[in-house]
Chain A
Amino acid sequence: MKLEARDFKKLRWQLLIAAGALIAGGILAYAGLAFEQHAEQQHRATKARQEQIENKLKQVRNEEQEIRSKSALFLQLQERAILGPEKRLYWSEMLADLQKTLRLPGMEYEFSPQTELEGTAAGGYAFYKSTMRVRLSLVHEEDLFRFLQRLETQASALTVPRNCKIERLPAQAPERSNSLAQLSANCEIDWITARPSTGK
């Protein structure tokens, strides 16, 4: 059959209906597919959330003791003010008190400005350090270790010695004439605190 121009006129409504049906069908199919995909996405997300909380619950039961001990440590850090802003006034008071308690013949120190510690923030907290350069006159090297041990247990920061130079004082050194000092120690100690990483 050969189609002529007049034939298309006769076919126009059917062609229009067919085009309409195809478009409507396409829209329906697309809408159905989109709905299914959206539902699938929602389902995957919900399933993932459900699995996550399930794992969390399983984990929290398995690690109850660990979490308890870590929570206790956290509270202890809060109590010692290791978490939170630096308490430099308290530090200086504690150092003066230490010199007196340990009967150190001489002590000079200097804190550098606070800087962020290397490494990424952990658990939403960022770690900062203030490096203290301290010069101590010692009667015995054990004085240094006691000094460091007191810092470790009493300071409202995590104190990490980075370097220490211990040397015998020369016979003519002024410290020897003024006191019982036999040794001198020059140390660099990081005073580390942590704060929520949202701001200093």
Chain B
Amino acid sequence: MSRRVLYLDSYRLTAYRCAGGQTVADGTFEPSAEGLARFGEYLRQHASDQYALLANLAEEGFQIEEIPFLRGADRSAVLSRRLAQVFFGTPLVAAVSLGYEKDKRRNERLLLAAFTNPAPFDPWLNALKQAEVALSGVYSLAQLGHRLLAAEQKPPSRWMLLTTQDNTIRESFIVDGVTIFSRIAPLTDSSIAGTAATFAAEAAKLHQYLLGQRLVGRNEQLTVYLLTHPLTLRAVQKSCISNNTLNFEFLDSQQLAQRAGLKTPPSDGRCDPLFVHLLAARPPAQQYAGEELRHDFRLLQTRRGVLAFAGIAFAVALGFAAVQFFAGLHLVSRSEELSLRESELQKRYRDVTATFPQVQIDNDALRQLVGRYTELQRQQSGPRPAVAAVARALDRFPAVEIERLEWKQASGSDKGANKPEESLLIDGDLRLTRKSTPRQILAMFDSFVQALARELGISVTVIQSPFDIGSGQALKGGKGDDPLPQRTFQLRVLHKGQP
């Protein structure tokens, strides 16, 4: 896709292809049926290119206006209305903000400009519209004048510029980088001497006009820049002599073209290619065409926007994927290092365990198995400790005889965590003399129970006492014979077994 600039003057339309600092005219079309047909064909051949229309026509209007301080849609509405009032009957209008007044109302100063006669444009704009090509805008040659001077040349705030095109001289009055007035004068004698003389005469005429319009002061010396080809430079310098009112400065078109980056400098006094290059390189913000004419350009921008969005989204995704991929690679590399370390540790582990007795069972399983076995082994002690404890107690109570011992280990679910719980049921009787009183019998029995409790019991329960004096039982006596109808007893002892 190339950028193309269509240069329109009073006689013809010239198409330039602009690429890589080169501006090449590749078509010239007369405003005739044949010329328009060729132009239509040209557009069809280059339908995908982007176009800009640069006009160098006499019918241009400039007016400075003030509008209230407004923003957004209100400003646009006021601007449209004001442009329609000032330049009635032409759709090719533009407004350039010149800043705001510094009083309280802060009115905005505007330069309103227009091509007052749209007729020369119509056939070309219709052809562009029919061909549905992207027209970025319609521009005036006057808009580009201030760009000729590089920043380092530091032009004064108000200056005049005279350039030659075809058979015309373009005269522009530029204030603070904005062309506020411009006109075309015919160049009847296009010889070097004629051009030089016309420059001098037109500069004086424009100065007079600006004085008349009170755009410059009477005692103000105005700088006039003359853009000339090197061949005409000497002649122009001779004709244009600075005085109290005009100070002439001469610009070499070849040097300016080189400085502007144009690789195909103008071969004669005509400056058209230089302006075309300036427009293609950096178009001004303001242009004259309405939105309807720029519809296909907006579509082109939309297409570019969609592609740019897709490109950015793809690039972001690609970047994200790359980051993730490299992070993944880093992890893979670290995993490989860890695997090597793991293998090394495995080997060391095998080396260490190889010195152990070979039991065909890993250490964790061995630990669990032995733990369970040890737990079961703790329950192995049997009745011996309990019976031994009872025997020790019996040693101190010779009157106590044991008839039956029933030892029982609590079942699995009843057992404590560390020590199995055991119960011992003891059946016995007391061998006493006939003189023993019930009080003595009970005292000795209580002592025996306490001795048992000391030896092994956490609780000793008397199930049957040798002499029952409870209120719930019958109590017999007084016959003079055996005062102890019952000497048997039964005890239950609960205790923790051997750990």
> Hey, which bits of chain A sit against chain B, CB under 8 A?
1, 7, 10-11, 14-15, 17-22, 24-26, 28-29, 31-33, 35-36, 38-40, 42-43, 46-47, 49-50, 53-54, 56-57, 59-61, 63-64, 67-68, 70-75, 77, 82, 117-119, 122-125, 127, 141, 144-145, 148, 152, 158-168, 192, 194
Residue-wise, chain B 336-373 has the 8 Å CB interface mask toward A (1 for contact) of 00110110011011001100110101011111111111
For the complex, give the distance between the alpha carbons of A151 and B318 in Å: 78
Closest residue of chain A to B391 (Cβ to Cβ) is A141
Closest residue of chain B to A1 (Cβ to Cβ) is B298
Known interface pairs A1-B295, A148-B384, A164-B382; A17-B328 also in contact (CB < 8 Å) = no
Q: Tell me the chain B residues, 392-414 only, with Cβ under 8 Å from chain A.
A: 402-409, 411-413
For the complex, give the distance between the alpha carbons of A49 and B384 in Å: 50
Closest residue of chain B to A66 (Cβ to Cβ) is B367
Closest residue of chain B to A54 (Cβ to Cβ) is B345
Q: Is the CB of B387 within 8 A of A36?
A: no
Q: Within 8 Å CB of A11, what residues of B?
A: 299, 302-303, 306
Known interface pairs A25-B317, A165-B404; A53-B349 also in contact (CB < 8 Å) = yes
- A46's partner among B132, B335, B356, B382 (CB-CB below 8 A) is B335
Known interface pairs A53-B345, A60-B349, A70-B370; A39-B335 also in contact (CB < 8 Å) = yes
Q: Within 8 Å CB of B352, what residues of A?
A: 57, 60-61, 64
Q: Is the CB of B376 within 8 A of A148?
A: no
For the complex, give the distance between the alpha carbons of A24 and B357 in Å: 61
Q: Is the CB of B316 within 8 A of A145?
A: no
Q: Within 8 Å CB of B198, what residues of A?
A: none
- B382's partner among A31, A70, A161 (CB-CB below 8 A) is A161
Chain A min CB distance to B55 (Å): 24
Q: Is the CB of A36 within 8 A of B409?
A: no
Closest residue of chain A to B382 (Cβ to Cβ) is A161
Q: Within 8 Å CB of B339, what residues of A?
A: 46, 50
Q: Is the CB of B345 within 8 A of A57?
A: yes
- B356's partner among A25, A53, A68, A194 (CB-CB below 8 A) is A68
Is B64 on the interface with A (CB-CB < 8 A)? Answer: no
Known interface pairs A17-B310, A72-B357; A32-B299 also in contact (CB < 8 Å) = no
Chain A min CB distance to B377 (Å): 6
Closest residue of chain A to B401 (Cβ to Cβ) is A168
Q: Within 8 Å CB of B367, what residues of A?
A: 67, 70, 123
Q: Is the CB of A21 within 8 A of B313?
A: yes
Q: Within 8 Å CB of A24, what residues of B?
A: 314, 317
Q: Tell me the chain B residues, 304-331 only, with Cβ under 8 Å from chain A.
A: 306-307, 309-311, 313-314, 316-318, 320-325, 327-329, 331
Closest residue of chain A to B291 (Cβ to Cβ) is A1
Known interface pairs A68-B356, A158-B373, A162-B409; A36-B328 also in contact (CB < 8 Å) = yes
For the complex, give the distance between the alpha carbons of A67 and B363 in Å: 7
Q: Is the CB of A42 within 8 A of B331?
A: yes
For the complex, give the distance between the alpha carbons of A72 and B370 in Å: 10
Q: Is the CB of A57 within 8 A of B348?
A: yes
Q: Within 8 Å CB of A61, what residues of B?
A: 352
Chain A min CB distance to B137 (Å): 14
Is B261 on the interface with A (CB-CB < 8 A)? Answer: no
Q: Within 8 Å CB of B411, what residues of A?
A: 162
- B314's partner among A22, A31, A162 (CB-CB below 8 A) is A22
Excluding A42-B331, A123-B370, 18 further A-B contacts by CB distance (< 8 Å) are A28-B317, A29-B317, A39-B332, A50-B339, A56-B363, A60-B363, A67-B356, A67-B363, A70-B366, A71-B359, A122-B369, A123-B368, A127-B372, A160-B380, A164-B405, A165-B405, A166-B406, A194-B369
Closest 5 CB pairs of A and B: A25-B317, A32-B321, A32-B324, A123-B365, A123-B369
Known interface pairs A49-B342, A68-B356, A123-B368; A32-B322 also in contact (CB < 8 Å) = yes
Q: Within 8 Å CB of A25, what residues of B?
A: 313-314, 316-318
Closest residue of chain A to B345 (Cβ to Cβ) is A53
Closest residue of chain A to B367 (Cβ to Cβ) is A70
